[in-house]
Structure 1
Amino acid sequence: MILLQVQHVARLFGADVLFKNIDLDIQENSRIALVGRNGVGKSTLLKIIMDQQPADQGQITRAKNLTIGYLAQDTGLVSANTIYEEMLTVFEPLRKMEEKIHQLENKIASDSQKVNSKEYQRLLAQYDQMQHDFKENNGYGYQAEIRSVLHGFKFDEKDYQQKINSLSGGQKTRLALAKLLLEKRDLLILDEPTNHLDIETLNWLENYLQGYTGALLLVSHDRYFLDKIAQDVYELTPTAAIHYSGNYSAYIKKKQLRLQLQQKAYEKQQEKIDKLEDFVKKNIVRASTTKRAQSRRKQLEKIERLDKPQGQQQGPHFAFTAEHPSGNIVLNVNEAYIGYQNHAIAGPINIELRRNQIMAIVGPNGIGKSTFLKSILGKIPFISGSSQFGAQVDVGYYDQELHNLTPNKSVLNEVWDDHPTMPEKDIRSILGSFLFRGSDVAKIVSQLSGGEKARLLLTKLALNHHNFILFDEPTNHLDIESKEVLEQALLKFDGTVLFVSHDRYFINKVASQVIELSEQGSQLFLGDYDYYLTKKAEQHLLAEEIKADESQNLAKKSSQTSTSATNYQQNKKLQREKRKLERDVAKLEKQLEDLDVIANSIQQAMSAPENYTDPTKIKQLQEQLTENQQQQQQTETEWETTAAKLEKFE
């Protein structure tokens, strides 16, 4: 079933076209990423869908009674309530139902002497129905759901009574998203939802959205996030929204293939046109061939000429090169503790970084990743321990706060003052490769955007030809095209890199090693970000198994000590019963998993184009889905009963 359609929509500013001929379909359970270069109008299109801006052409059609949740970019929750009070407002109908149930309970208790009366029976029937509805709408679990979502966004119970209007902008944005998730709208439209989220929260949000029952339309610069969530990608261009099936990585591959095919088709047509034009030119004036030339001319006139493929928008292009190689050992960090005012926040940290390696530093917010880089550079002293650079190491540093720039200088002088003997045309040429062209070089640094400052700092780093570069959040202010250029520059760099980043896609792309900082110290993982996640999951599972084994051994030892001959047989019987219940629980859980797989298969079939336009097929699939849901409910009831019996053995 189609929830929403964007049909031939355009946004114009006088004679200027932001975009036109935009078509986009959102079906039930869609997972759509909307991508495109900066300034193409992604946020504008979302606002048109939400009726916050008008469409100059085209229309938006919506399914009847469609509910939409919308998170604009960097929009925070505005409320005079406390955090928990505001989340409770989502469940106000349930809370009113709960209140009515309690009123009915009191009334039924007071009329207990009239058990045979019609009124009493009516009250019981009403009570049973309300209890059923309350349970079906998660009446017994909505408070746990609130706590779970708030915990996912890093709000603990100690925060629940804080007034929302006293929170930071980032906290208000997280709460706005939390409330939207709890509301469970049919369609959720999120514009840069990953802003202000650390890696742990991003992982939680991805897992939550993967199980979200409604449809999703997402705009994000977080490519790892889009890879995890998106199942379709629409690339917004000034003249169309081009659809690609699959996640972000699939989109990149398919787009490249599409551009290659378009280029081949264009070249083939040009070759044909050249031959026809050459024939006409040579033969039009010759009496013996003029008719054939006229025929070729008519062919030329009928050809629908293809536009030359434009490919990617021209972005920055640069490289990092080392003036001279360093020694084999670039950096040694030995038993280092980092922190402030003699208070250690992480350690001991140990690193041996070798030439041409690219190492990523990860860890929770507040653990001191940026502090660690500054301690290596001598800007903040280690609490204890030390670090040493190797032979012939020349260090460069990219500061995430972009403090390594002079606010009152022009772009040109910011670079030229560091290289006064370099000709101005060479400085301008290098700045041009970083997209500072023409009058851009006269801009004052303090007036630049975050992305422009980032590109200017990268320009300075590229010109200094360091053989070891420390980056602190280098992708924070860059658009996707600039991130991809930076990735390629680092992969081709003939030096060594140590960097801090929350951009998991970037880490995956460039890192050959990942070091995790924690209060307990450092741990090295010899692979990319996905490898790091896999090993962390294995470590967690192993720790849980060890904990379970220790618990079992302790329980067994205690049981052996206390078991006597008189209760030995009784214990064996109880163990047999417990094992039977465990088998029954596992069997029921397997049935639930199988039913869930079947339900997903039915839902996918319902959203298939060849089915959702066939009323008979949709009706059959809906009947199958209803039967499946009834089976799930019956199996869940059996599972709850059996699991409750099993809990008595714990």
Structure 2
Amino acid sequence: MVSLQHITLEFGARSLLHNINWHIGKGERIGLVGRNGAGKSTLLKLIAGELSPQEGFVNRQRELRIGFFHQELLSFQTEAPIRDVAMSAFDEINRCWQRLQELSQQMASNQQESLMQEYGELLHQFETANVYQLKARTEEVLEGLGFQTSDLDRPFHTFSGGWRMRVLLARLLLQQPDLLLLDEPTNHLDLPSMQWLENYLQQIPGTCIIASHDRHFLDRLVEKIVEIDQQQLFIYTGNYSAYIAQKQARQEHQQRTYENQQAFIQHQQAFIERFRAKATKAAQVQSAIRKLEKLERIDPVEATTNTPRFQFRMQREPGRLIMSGHHISKSYNENTVLKDVSFEIMRGDKIGLIGANGRGKSTLLRILAGQESFEGKLHTGHHVVMAYYAQHHTEQLNPANTILQEVEQHAPSYTTQEIRNVLGQFLFSGDDILKPIQVLSGGEKARVALAKLFLTQANFLLLDEPTNHLDIPSIDALKQALSNFPGSYIVVSHDRYFLEGMIQRIWYIENAQLCEWQGDLISWVQQKAFATASSSSTYTSRQINQPAAEERARRKAYQQQKRQFEKIEKQLDTLQAEIRNVELRLADPVLYANKQEFLKIEQLYRNLQSQYQDLQTRYEEAFERLMEMEKEL
């Protein structure tokens, strides 16, 4: 599909890719990995045709349809409803329909063969696209990515940046390109939406290249890993976990080969030095010299020096109770985020606050951190030293400060040398610490914020999406530091690998109530407890301060089933109307004068009837399930 030949790409004096070759085949599922700044986004732009290399060629298959999802799409603005934005993926089909209408009017008075042939070709294209289900498909994708049915008519510009990115992702998925390029597609997704996207991408037939820092996402989706390292591409068969094992084996083999070659070189050099002056050994010496000159040198495995290595330290041991909340409520105008919530956090608690976006997770953390007004009472325990890492940490950094100034202002009790030592642990050394905040990448800003958090020596951490913008080695370092942390923390994250093995309690917010999931993270993701919890689940979910959780869960599941039933009902009505229109066309005697046109309309009628029967079966099943659920209420 796409072939990269002898590609070299540079930015200023910095070389990102040097003389690389890569062939992308049909149907491949590829994970693109590498450290922050290695060139992943740049390589995707090169494949998409948005960049040209300084050297080499990019050859693309003719008429190849490429879809590229990246963070720069945020500049897109419109006042159209999000359903219309997503349905703009079908602009070609819409144009096809308009042309069919034009041709139909022309053929009423002109029976030219060319018009009839064009009409037939366009009608086949229209029917193949299964246009009758486009609206339903659009709604399914938008709702799968987390939108409520009531959101679909809201203007695009009224949503936050993260939600706008979801709409644009939906539009791209609906286009069904031959080659799908996804640059950090999970950045703005919560756990349920990520799971939906995984299932969706597993079913699409095209080629897909995914640049992501989410290990689980890559493990479930890709069959090949392409790593950018030292301006080169290294290709591994299998998912991310297989790549880790293969890379370690490759590096071990490379190091052994390097060491063996070094031993050979030393032996040859010793021979040359020893016998250089002896005429009887001149031929052997010259032979050894030529061998060394022709020898293709093997590089040693580079030591991993650009991975943060740190360990959180506590200033003091806190009392048994870290924090308690009593009858906490929070509303934004008419939107109630938390209602009469009570809880206790004890010393040593490692809590994961997870779930769908927009439920109030960040709001709760800001309340605990004292940065949000609320109703109710909050009590902090004895000797608790709290530190808060905000989701949008870049807003808390002064862009005019250098890295050193930013950290010095945050930790005035530390000497400059002590701060330099800490910054070194976060990969800022030498003159790097004099860089202004405003020129840093997202990953670098995240490491500055983590360094500030580290210097607090807090015993209670509030972490809101701490892995955003971090590459996989930095995520690993943070996970290791938190796993060894003796204090308490609450972490909001959608990164399953990061959370696994690091949290002991799972909280989530549903209907303005704080709930606790009685099970592990994997079971929560699989069951989608916040939406589908029922009394038949293997694991149970309970509200922390309200005993009627099972009743509310059943009612929520019932409402979800009811919405699904009503959705199918509307689809049936739409399909019936389409069938009636086709029946009117079949009743028109003029149609039978054109055998080809009649056969096409007849085939369309059979297809619609088949769709109607399938939908009718789903309707009856949904109705029966709804009746069963009503009996349980």
Structure 1 length as normaliser, TM-score? Answer: 0.72
Q: Is the 8 A contact 1:29 1:216 kept in 2?
A: yes
1:84-143 superposed Cα distances (whole Å, 9 cap, x missing partner):
4454444355456667888999999x99xxxxxxx9xxx999999987765432132122
User: Structure 1 residues 271 and 635, CA, compared in 2 at 3 Å: closer, same or farther?
Assistant: farther
1:525 Cα shift?
3.6
User: Structure 1 residues 313 and 102, CA, compared in 2 at 3 Å: closer, same or farther?
Assistant: same
Q: Distance in 1 between matches of 2:129 and 2:335?
A: 49
Q: Distance in 1 between matches of 2:66 and 2:44?
A: 12
What is the identity, as a one-letter code, of the residue corresponding to 1:91? F
1:29 Cα shift?
1.9
Q: Is the 8 A contact 1:5 1:23 kept in 2?
A: yes
Q: Distance in 1 between matches of 2:295 and 2:358?
A: 63
Aligned to 1:69: 67
- 3-state DSSP of counterpart to 1:204: helix
1:436-466 superposed Cα distances (whole Å, 9 cap, x missing partner):
3233333455665544443223223323322
Q: Distance in 2 between matches of 1:92 and 1:473?
A: 37
In the alignment, structure 1 residue 318 sits paired with structure 2 residue 301: no
User: Structure 1 residues 323 and 298, CA, compared in 2 at 3 Å: closer, same or farther?
Assistant: same
Q: Is the 8 A contact 1:398 1:472 kept in 2?
A: yes
- 3-state DSSP of counterpart to 1:74: helix
Aligned to 1:473: 465
User: Structure 1 residues 338 and 288, CA, compared in 2 at 3 Å: closer, same or farther?
Assistant: farther
Q: Is the 8 A contact 1:134 1:140 kept in 2?
A: no
Aligned to 2:564: none
Q: Distance in 2 between matches of 1:308 and 1:88?
A: 53
Q: Distance in 2 between matches of 1:172 and 1:396?
A: 31
- 3-state DSSP of counterpart to 2:132: coil
Q: Is the 8 A contact 1:67 1:185 kept in 2?
A: yes
- 3-state DSSP of counterpart to 2:182: strand
Q: Is the 8 A contact 1:12 1:18 kept in 2?
A: yes
Aligned to 1:400: 391
The farther-off stretch of 17-26 and 414-423 is: 414-423
In the alignment, structure 1 residue 191 sits paired with structure 2 residue 179: no
1:596-624 superposed Cα distances (whole Å, 9 cap, x missing partner):
xxxxxxxxxxxxxxxxxxxxxxxxxxxxx
- 3-state DSSP of counterpart to 1:185: coil
- 3-state DSSP of counterpart to 2:446: helix
- 3-state DSSP of counterpart to 1:18: strand
* Counterpart pick for 2:255 among 259, 263, 268: 263
- 3-state DSSP of counterpart to 1:33: strand
1:307 Cα shift?
0.7
Q: Distance in 2 between matches of 1:46 and 1:278?
A: 49
Aligned to 1:60: 58
User: Structure 1 residues 168 and 364, CA, compared in 2 at 3 Å: closer, same or farther?
Assistant: closer
User: Structure 1 residues 139 and 410, CA, compared in 2 at 3 Å: closer, same or farther?
Assistant: closer
For structure 1, list consecutive stretches of 5 or more residues without a partner in the other structure: 112-118, 552-633
State the identity %: 35
1:306 Cα shift?
0.7
Q: Distance in 2 between matches of 1:465 and 1:58?
A: 51
In the alignment, structure 1 residue 6 sits paired with structure 2 residue 4: yes
Aligned to 2:199: 207
- Structural mapping, 1:48-127, within 5 Å: 48-76=46-74, 77=76, 82-92=81-91, 94-95=93-94
Q: Distance in 2 between matches of 1:415 and 1:520?
A: 37
What is the identity, as a one-letter code, of the residue corresponding to 1:220? S
Q: Distance in 2 between matches of 1:136 and 1:151?
A: 25
Q: Is the 8 A contact 2:86 2:168 kept in 1?
A: no
- Structural mapping, 1:33-432, within 5 Å: 33-76=31-74, 77=76, 82-92=81-91, 94-95=93-94, 134-155=126-147, 158-160=150-152, 164=156, 169-282=161-274, 284=276, 299-312=291-304, 314-333=306-325, 336-339=328-331, 344-347=336-339, 349=341, 351-380=343-372, 382-384=374-376, 386-389=378-381, 391-402=382-393, 409-416=401-408, 422-432=414-424
User: Structure 1 residues 18 and 94, CA, compared in 2 at 3 Å: closer, same or farther?
Assistant: closer
Aligned to 1:26: 24
- Structural mapping, 1:610-649, within 5 Å: 644=616
What is the identity, as a one-letter code, of the residue corresponding to 1:22? I
Aligned to 2:432: 440
1:291-350 superposed Cα distances (whole Å, 9 cap, x missing partner):
776665555445432111115461332221223433455444456444468975235545
- Structural mapping, 1:410-559, within 5 Å: 410-416=402-408, 422-445=414-437, 448-508=440-500, 510-519=502-511, 521-525=513-517, 529-536=521-528, 540=532, 542=534
1:361 Cα shift?
0.7
User: Structure 1 residues 98 and 301, CA, compared in 2 at 3 Å: closer, same or farther?
Assistant: closer
Q: Is the 8 A contact 2:355 2:530 kept in 1?
A: no
Q: Is the 8 A contact 2:88 2:171 kept in 1?
A: no
Aligned length: 555
What is the identity, as a one-letter code, of the residue corresponding to 2:387? G
User: Structure 1 residues 276 and 349, CA, compared in 2 at 3 Å: closer, same or farther?
Assistant: farther
Which is greater in Rg? 1
1:641 Cα shift?
5.3
User: Structure 1 residues 246 and 296, CA, compared in 2 at 3 Å: closer, same or farther?
Assistant: same
User: Structure 1 residues 175 and 297, CA, compared in 2 at 3 Å: closer, same or farther?
Assistant: same
Q: Distance in 1 between matches of 2:247 and 2:156?
A: 44
Aligned to 2:542: none
Q: Is the 8 A contact 2:411 2:456 kept in 1?
A: no
User: Structure 1 residues 222 and 103, CA, compared in 2 at 3 Å: closer, same or farther?
Assistant: same
What is the identity, as a one-letter code, of the residue corresponding to 1:246? G
Note the aligned Cα RMSD (angstroms): 4.4
Q: Is the 8 A contact 2:65 2:178 kept in 1?
A: yes
Q: Distance in 2 between matches of 1:190 and 1:470?
A: 31
1:447-493 superposed Cα distances (whole Å, 9 cap, x missing partner):
65544443223223323322222212222243333222212211222
What is the identity, as a one-letter code, of the residue corresponding to 1:515? W
- 3-state DSSP of counterpart to 2:483: helix
Q: Is the 8 A contact 2:326 2:376 kept in 1?
A: no
Structure 2 length as normaliser, TM-score? Answer: 0.73
1:243 Cα shift?
0.8
Q: Distance in 2 between matches of 1:440 and 1:642?
A: 64
Q: Distance in 2 between matches of 1:513 and 1:203?
A: 21
Q: Is the 8 A contact 1:348 1:522 kept in 2?
A: no
User: Structure 1 residues 534 and 50, CA, compared in 2 at 3 Å: closer, same or farther?
Assistant: closer
Q: Distance in 1 between matches of 2:239 and 2:454?
A: 33
What is the identity, as a one-letter code, of the residue corresponding to 2:386? V
User: Structure 1 residues 74 and 194, CA, compared in 2 at 3 Å: closer, same or farther?
Assistant: farther
User: Structure 1 residues 267 and 635, CA, compared in 2 at 3 Å: closer, same or farther?
Assistant: farther
Q: Distance in 2 between matches of 1:542 and 1:249?
A: 34
- 3-state DSSP of counterpart to 1:384: strand
For structure 2, list consecutive stretches of 5 or more residues without a partner in the other structure: 538-549, 556-605, 625-633
- 3-state DSSP of counterpart to 1:189: strand
- 3-state DSSP of counterpart to 2:198: helix
Q: Distance in 1 between matches of 2:121 and 2:281?
A: 90
Q: Is the 8 A contact 2:327 2:375 kept in 1?
A: no
Aligned to 1:603: none
The farther-off stretch of 444-453 and 171-180 is: 444-453
